[in-house]
Amino acid sequence: MPLNVGDRLPEATFMHMTKDGPSQVSSKELFEGKRVALFALPGAFTPTCSAKHVPGFKERKDELKAKGIDQIACVSVNDAFVMGAWAKDQNVSDDDMLMLADGNGDFTRAVGLDMDASKFGMGTRSQRYSMVVNDGVVEQLNVEQGGEFRVSSADYLVDHL
């Protein structure tokens, strides 16, 4: 069952690439006492994700922060090494957003936003979405319909804060 506005996010552990290698980030560490703009996408280095989704959040980060967002985080069902390489490719620093790996898809399944991308040779992946999480509780949730890129964009999130 997919997550809804007002739901508390489940406990999860993400992986994040640092200069010293992969490091764990708990959901408690990420969300407790913070207002976080979290967005998820099907895969690193994929066309829409690389050309629109990540660049949009990087470009609008100051506006998001001006509207009360403490942290921006991107989640994908990829490993920390891929997410780290993608951050470099996108010229994204931790100050811009955290690039978080949900390598086994545990968080993605727990929030009910997984999808079967087997026909593309990608296995189980995340649906494309954005959300605002306030102290661990979903304040806003924007899930795309298959193949679309509109409501999960940084533009949409900024306009609806």
The catalytic site residues sit at: 49
Q: How far apart, in whole angstroms, are the C-alpha atoms of residue 88 and residue 105?
A: 22
Measured CA to CA in angstroms, residue 25 lies from 107, 122, 142 at distances of 12, 24, 23
| DSSP SS3 for 43 | coil
Measured CA to CA in angstroms, residue 124 lies from 15, 41, 44, 68, 110 at distances of 18, 12, 14, 33, 13
The residue assigned the tokens 């102290």 is: 135
The dihedral region occupied by 10, where left means phi > 0, alpha psi between -120 and 50, and beta the remainder, is: beta
